[in-house]
Each structure stands twice: as structure tokens, then as C-alpha cells.
Chain A
């Protein structure tokens, strides 16, 4: 599958938060990351999707200076992750997949501890900690030991620890994994707020709806290679089963059937068929919503009358399945 791009090459250096060029990370014979390149704009939420073991976390670990790349370049805010790791660390915050904090310390103590690890001014830190605690609804738990928190609260704590030094770029590795819908929504709201404050977010998630809603752009990685990149809309328009159009059409049945057969030769039509049971015509079309006018015109041009139209949009899940042959949870 060819890589899909849009507008990424038009960026100036000042606009780039993360730049990865031909990055490789090998563990002995295993090519965890194999020659990937991408750019993340400042202030955007960049979704990084891939099945388990695709190379997502390894990529984050390299960009976050935890692992040294085998080859290639990775820059954060124009700082090289190998040569200028200390500078890079000042600009990034990480919310790891696992809850990483000290169980024995309270919510407040954990935040203060990690904040101090980033040399945040004490008074500023105190105010920021109070603010973060409030924003994720942990006010009543500020003195509670982390080990006593519920799963959702722990995730929230895990998230805000990554924000305690107010980083420009935030890596969120599965931030809502295993959370109830309410807590997910709370975290999404907070991510939206971060976006509104022009923070760059590098997001990996298993949830397609989450990637779809939160990501401005996203890349799909599999077997260490990026296999698609673009905005969710663009990917949905170009990859997958396309939008599903359901049309109720009146007119001679023979004409309808021959028109459907003829329609299958159009490049954006992936599939089309007529169902005898409910007498509805179903059409899978890439960017079906955008092409709906053309499709209706195609039928009316054949003396057929479209009396009802339904649209079911293509999903990222479909895009992902088409590209990787696997669902994200496999």
C-alpha cells in the first residue's frame, strides 16, 4: 500500500514539533522501527496507530530519548534526540501506557516529586499541581496514596504527571486504555483543552473513535514501517471499504441492475449491489458522501428515480483493517 500524504512537506522548520527522518531501531535481528519518516506540526494532535508490536512504543521511546536509534534522525523542537537529549527532555512530557508513579506517595506528593524532577519552580509547581488536580477531578484525593486510587483515577494521575512541567509536546501512550466512558470523556476534554492551548500531542491509542476524534493527523505503522499517513478524513476517503450508501430507487428493474453493473466500473465505487429482500441498492464508495451527487446523477441519467438516500460513513477501523489486515486489538 502506498503512503498517503497531504500537506506535510510544506511545513517550515518553526512549525515542526517532531521530525523523524529515516529512523531505524533494531533489536538484534528484530526491526522494531524500520526506516520511518514523518513530521508533527506544532499544536496538532498526531495519532500514531498500529497493531501490537508494530513499533509504536519503540518510536516514542526513541523520540523521548529513552532509546538510542540504530540509524536515522529524530528531532524534537529542532533538537536532536541523541545529541541534544537534555534539551529535548525539557520540551516533552510522557504519559506512559502503564501507570508509573509511586504507590506509597499521595497524588499531591507524586505530582510534586515529578514536577521537581523537571526543575519546575516551587511556587509555580504548587499552583500547577493544584490546577491539574482540579482539572482531572482529583481534588478530594489529593492526599490519598496513589495505590488507593481507582483505576480511572490512577490513569488521570498518570496523565497529569506527564503535564506537571507543562511540556510543549506530550506523548500519550494509550491514555484511556481500560477506562469507563465517563473517565474517557473527561480525559478527552482535557486533551482538547491542551490542543486549544497549542500543545502538540503525540497520541497512540487502540480506540479508533478516540484517534478519529482527537487526531488532526495520524500515521499507521505496521511491522516497523509507516503504511499510511494523513488526516482521518483523508484516510477514510481514500482507504477502506468506503462510505456505504443505501439508495431506494424507482424504475425498471432491468435498467437498475444494468446500471449497477455499469457503476462498478467507476474508480471510486468499490462495490454495488441490489437487495431483493428490501429492494434497496447498496453502494460502497470511497468518499461516498462527497460523491453522492454524482452517483444520484448517474442513476437519474438512466431514467431511474432516487427517492431516498442513506449514508454510513467509512470508519478508521475499516481503514486500519484494510491496511494491516488486523484489528488494533489483535
Chain B
């Protein structure tokens, strides 16, 4: 065999050996997985459970949208006489008939804020004075007419044509003859004028009519007024003028083929109303209500392409509006202690597997010392996680809404302690079930996923169906979320009855699980 061949054989040999090792390792891993029914169950079961829970949550969301409570404050004494669809009482009736929401009228903004703070409503809509009048004003397209025609017609009266146009379009256009104004001045001041467009009668228009020529006008529209809307306006005007001239002796066609946007022109301010939300309402709920209310109001008022630009301002019932991070932070803080569950169970099962407990059993160490040290060590980890997590959340804009710094600090510390204690108690209870660290690593997620996903940490439980909400409301993680939301989002004092109730429930849960956990763990440890 040549040297080259020998080398090739060597290379091939290494590769073969590597592939062989790879195969053996893969087979060994598969065998280990296959031979461990629990690992098999967890690795397949967890994804199934994940999808089931997500499915249940979001499937329930369709049913659950019926529970939004929305307040209504109408401070407007004006009325839209020519447009009945702008009547706020009528709009309220339409909302009230909707299954998705529960409407309540309030006499004043303060009354509605009070109701929101008492959590009687999720949000309220506020219509300021002059709302209907503004709608009325904004319901017209203001058009300036400017006659640039120096020719005259022997057969047609242009003035009559204009009168007819004004009369025919009076319910949606306001056409004003601005021929007396200098066109340049009119165009230069367009930005500050009330006009949405300028209709110009081009030169020789009258002459053309007399000679049966096709004639045209020009329409200059606002830059930011939509092309489609302008097209609609032109179409209406064209139709009315052609109809006016429609006679056996008339063979001309009037068209307004070219659009010119007027540079620099802007739209007038939109008609505004306000939507108020409690700070603790989730961003998702907020978004759903905004879209629902906004689209319904806009849909009722704007029934044709000449739509009124209507908008709402989102406000908070108390203080500044909360950002997403501030809303989400109380839940995110709990993520750290929850991950401790997995860590704690893996450590406990590893120590058993490695014989540490057996070795320590011949020392003077007591069971309670082992348990307490595990709890203490993990609590330290939790508080370290909390410090790091809180710092990061602050960096990302967390702005907790608190009653007082003392209430917040003490309350959060107690809540974190209780919740971590519950999680560690759960770890002791789960350790004998999982027995070995490999199984525990995946297995704890069977418990963690529902605790996380259904507690309101990631998804507001208002999105859930009623049955899932009922389950979520008895989860210990939910109590912890409510405590932290109360202290850090709603600005409640530590002594608030809702906070104390949730502290009590979480404590009760922790004690029960701890008692079960320690009994099971001590048996397992032996």
C-alpha cells in the first residue's frame, strides 16, 4: 500500500470511528430516552400540554369577550341636526345592544373614574362638549369655487350652474365662490384656510359649451386628503354639472380630469373623544376595547367615503398612563422564583442519586437542617434574581405605581418570600415523584407551564374563557400576581383587604404544600 493510500486509510478510519461513535452515542441517547417511560412521557407530554393550554386559553378568548364593562360619559350639549347618525344617544343605544360589552352611563368623568377605581368598569368613553357640533362641522367638504373663464356663453348661465351645484350638494359640500379673491393668494393661504379643495372653472369653458366641445374644470385638493376621497368629490361634482347641462341642445361633456394637490396643505384637526382606562388594565384588554369602541364609533359616524377624521385619546384614570413594562413587571418578577422549582427539584434528586443524603445521614445533620438550608439557599437565589430582574425592568421603563415606598418594599419582600416558599414546598413535594434529575428537569414543566400561563403573568386572564378563568383564580401563582399587581400597579397599601386576602390564601397554600412536601421528601431521602 502506498504512503498516500495509507494516509487516506487513516483519514477514513478517523472519520469512520467518529461516525461510529456518533451513532453509538445517538443510539445510547435514544435508548436512554426510550427506556425511561417518565422522560418519554414528559418530553412528549409537555408539548402536548403546552398546546392544550394555549388552545384552551385562546379558544376561550372568543367566548370570553362578552365581559367587558364600559362606561359612557356624555358631556356634550350640542347636537348634529342634519346628521342623525352623529347623535350620541343613538350611538350609545347601538353599543348597549352589543353582546360583547356591558354599557353603563355616568353623569360625569369623576363618577366614571370612581367606578373604574372600584373595578366596576374596565374603561369609559368620554365625549367632550361640542363633539356633535364638531362632527357636524367636519361632515362637510369645504370647496372654494374660482371662475377663471373669460369667455362667455350665449346659451348657458354659469352662475345658475354654480347655484344648482351648491344646492344639490348642500348636505355634504359647502361650496363658496371665491372668484373675487386673487387665486395666488387663495393658493398661498390654502394651508391656513378651511377649504378641502378648490374647483376652478377653466378658461373658455363657456365658449366650449356653446361650440359643443368637451370642456373641463380643475380640482385642486389637499395633499393629505386621500386620492379616493377626492375622486369621490370630483365624481359627484361631474355628475351634477353634466346633469344640469343635460339638454337636447347641449352636446358637451364636462370633465374634471386632472387633480392637483396643493403643496403644504394640511387637514384640519380631527374630532376627538377620550377613552379612559384603569392603569392596571392589561395592554391586551386595552387594545381589544380600543379597537372595538374605535371601530364601532367610526363605523356609525362614517357611512360614506367622505368620512370624518375622528380619533380618540387614550388616558389613564389616575396619573400617567402605564407603559407595557409597568403592567407586565409584577408578573415578570415571579418568573424567577418559578424557575427555582426546576433547579431545586434537580438538585434534590441529584443529591439523593449521588448518595449525598446517605453520607450526610451518618453525620450530625438533621432533616430539618437539610430542608431549611435548601429553602434558604433558594430564597437567596430568588432575591438575587429579583434584584437583577428589577434592575433590568427599571432599565426597560418599569415605573411602579405604589402607595408608599415602605408599603411596596415590605409587601414585595413578603410576597416574594411566600411565593418562593410555596415554590420550594412544591419542589419537596415533587422530588419523590420525579426521583432522578433527568426526569425532574423536564417533569417540573408539567406543573410550571399551567402555573405560569394561567396566572396572568403572560396573558391577562380576562382573555380566558369562563371555565379557565375559574381555574386561574384558584392557582397560587394568581394570588402572588394579584398581590404584586396591587402593590406595584394599582398603588394599593399593604393593608388593603384584597392584598391581605391574597397573602392569606398564598400562605395557606404554602403551608399545606410544605407539609405534604416535607413528609414525602423525608420518606424519599431515606
The chain A residues found within 8 Å of chain B, CB to CB, are 64-66, 86, 89-90, 92-94, 96, 98, 100-102, 114, 117-119, 161, 165
B98 CB–A CB distance under 8 Å: no
**CB-based nearest A residue for B363:** A117
Candidates A92, A98, A102; contact of B362 at CB < 8 Å: A92
Which A residues lie within 8 Å of B361 (CB)? 64-66
Determine if B364 and A100 form an interchain contact, defined as CB atoms under 8 angstroms apart: no
Determine if A89 and B362 form an interchain contact, defined as CB atoms under 8 angstroms apart: yes
Most buried by A among B360, B363, B365: B363
Compute how far the CA of A100 lies from the CA of B365 in the bound complex, rounded to whole angstroms: 16
Q: How far is the CB of A63 from chain B (nearest CB, A)?
A: 10
Candidates A64, A94, A98, A118; contact of B364 at CB < 8 Å: A118
Q: How far is the CB of B68 from chain A (nearest CB, A)?
A: 53
Candidates A96, A101, A118; contact of B363 at CB < 8 Å: A118
Residues of B355-413 at the interface with A, using a CB-CB cut-off of 8 Å, are 355-356, 358-365
Determine if A96 and B355 form an interchain contact, defined as CB atoms under 8 angstroms apart: yes
Which A residues lie within 8 Å of B364 (CB)? 86, 89-90, 117-119
Compute how far the CA of A94 lies from the CA of B357 in the bound complex, rounded to whole angstroms: 13
Compute how far the CA of A114 lies from the CA of B360 in the bound complex, rounded to whole angstroms: 8
Which A residues lie within 8 Å of B356 (CB)? 100, 102
Which B residues lie within 8 Å of A165 (CB)? 363
Which A residues lie within 8 Å of B365 (CB)? 117
B269 CB–A CB distance under 8 Å: no
Q: How far is the CB of B366 from chain A (nearest CB, A)?
A: 9
The chain B residues found within 8 Å of chain A, CB to CB, are 354-356, 358-365, 526
**CB-based nearest A residue for B369:** A117
Compute how far the CA of A96 lies from the CA of B526 in the bound complex, rounded to whole angstroms: 16
**CB-based nearest A residue for B366:** A86
- By Cβ-Cβ distance, the 5 closest A-B pairs, closest first, are A117-B363, A100-B355, A100-B359, A94-B362, A64-B362
Q: How far is the CB of B363 from chain A (nearest CB, A)?
A: 4
- Provide the main secondary structure of the chain B interface: loop
Compute how far the CA of A65 lies from the CA of B362 in the bound complex, rounded to whole angstroms: 7
Compute how far the CA of A86 lies from the CA of B356 in the bound complex, rounded to whole angstroms: 18
Which A residues lie within 8 Å of B360 (CB)? 117
Determine if B362 and A100 form an interchain contact, defined as CB atoms under 8 angstroms apart: no
Which A residues lie within 8 Å of B354 (CB)? 100
Compute how far the CA of A107 lies from the CA of B358 in the bound complex, rounded to whole angstroms: 20
Most buried by B among A86, A117, A118, A161: A117
Q: How far is the CB of A128 from chain B (nearest CB, A)?
A: 15
Determine if B363 and A100 form an interchain contact, defined as CB atoms under 8 angstroms apart: no
- Provide the main secondary structure of the chain A interface: loop
Which B residues lie within 8 Å of A94 (CB)? 359, 362
Compute how far the CA of A101 lies from the CA of B363 in the bound complex, rounded to whole angstroms: 13
Which B residues lie within 8 Å of A117 (CB)? 360, 363-365
Which A residues lie within 8 Å of B359 (CB)? 94, 96, 100-101, 114, 161
**CB-based nearest A residue for B361:** A66
Q: How far is the CB of B257 from chain A (nearest CB, A)?
A: 83
Which A residues lie within 8 Å of B355 (CB)? 96, 98, 100
| A–B complex contacts, Cβ < 8 Å, 11 sampled | A65-B362, A66-B361, A89-B363, A89-B364, A96-B358, A100-B354, A100-B356, A101-B359, A117-B363, A118-B364, A165-B363
Which B residues lie within 8 Å of A114 (CB)? 359, 363
Compute how far the CA of A65 lies from the CA of B361 in the bound complex, rounded to whole angstroms: 8
Q: How far is the CB of B122 from chain A (nearest CB, A)?
A: 51
Q: How far is the CB of B357 from chain A (nearest CB, A)?
A: 9
**CB-based nearest A residue for B359:** A100
Q: How far is the CB of B430 from chain A (nearest CB, A)?
A: 23
**CB-based nearest B residue for A86:** B364
Q: How far is the CB of A301 from chain B (nearest CB, A)?
A: 60
Which B residues lie within 8 Å of A64 (CB)? 361-362
Which B residues lie within 8 Å of A119 (CB)? 364
Which B residues lie within 8 Å of A89 (CB)? 362-364
**CB-based nearest B residue for A115:** B363
Compute how far the CA of A98 lies from the CA of B355 in the bound complex, rounded to whole angstroms: 8
Which B residues lie within 8 Å of A66 (CB)? 358, 361-362, 526
Compute how far the CA of A212 lies from the CA of B360 in the bound complex, rounded to whole angstroms: 31
**CB-based nearest B residue for A164:** B363
Which B residues lie within 8 Å of A96 (CB)? 355, 358-359
**CB-based nearest B residue for A119:** B364
Compute how far the CA of A180 lies from the CA of B214 in the bound complex, rounded to whole angstroms: 113
Compute how far the CA of A92 lies from the CA of B361 in the bound complex, rounded to whole angstroms: 11
Compute how far the CA of A89 lies from the CA of B360 in the bound complex, rounded to whole angstroms: 10
Q: How far is the CB of B102 from chain A (nearest CB, A)?
A: 58
**CB-based nearest B residue for A61:** B358
**CB-based nearest A residue for B351:** A102
Q: How far is the CB of B377 from chain A (nearest CB, A)?
A: 13
Compute how far the CA of A268 lies from the CA of B356 in the bound complex, rounded to whole angstroms: 50
Q: How far is the CB of B352 from chain A (nearest CB, A)?
A: 11
Q: A66-B362, A114-B363 known; 16 other A-B pairs, CB under 8 Å? A: A65-B361, A66-B358, A89-B363, A89-B364, A90-B364, A96-B355, A96-B358, A96-B359, A98-B355, A100-B354, A100-B355, A100-B358, A100-B359, A114-B359, A117-B360, A118-B364
Compute how far the CA of A85 lies from the CA of B214 in the bound complex, rounded to whole angstroms: 116
Q: How far is the CB of B234 from chain A (nearest CB, A)?
A: 80
**CB-based nearest B residue for A102:** B356
Compute how far the CA of A64 lies from the CA of B364 in the bound complex, rounded to whole angstroms: 12
Most buried by B among A93, A100, A118: A100
Q: How far is the CB of B526 from chain A (nearest CB, A)?
A: 8
Compute how far the CA of A277 lies from the CA of B360 in the bound complex, rounded to whole angstroms: 62
Q: How far is the CB of B356 from chain A (nearest CB, A)?
A: 6
Which B residues lie within 8 Å of A100 (CB)? 354-356, 358-359
Q: How far is the CB of A120 from chain B (nearest CB, A)?
A: 10
Compute how far the CA of A117 lies from the CA of B355 in the bound complex, rounded to whole angstroms: 15
**CB-based nearest B residue for A165:** B363
Compute how far the CA of A65 lies from the CA of B355 in the bound complex, rounded to whole angstroms: 15
Compute how far the CA of A66 lies from the CA of B355 in the bound complex, rounded to whole angstroms: 12
Compute how far the CA of A119 lies from the CA of B364 in the bound complex, rounded to whole angstroms: 8
Q: How far is the CB of B109 from chain A (nearest CB, A)?
A: 62
Q: How far is the CB of A69 from chain B (nearest CB, A)?
A: 14
Which B residues lie within 8 Å of A92 (CB)? 362
Compute how far the CA of A94 lies from the CA of B359 in the bound complex, rounded to whole angstroms: 7
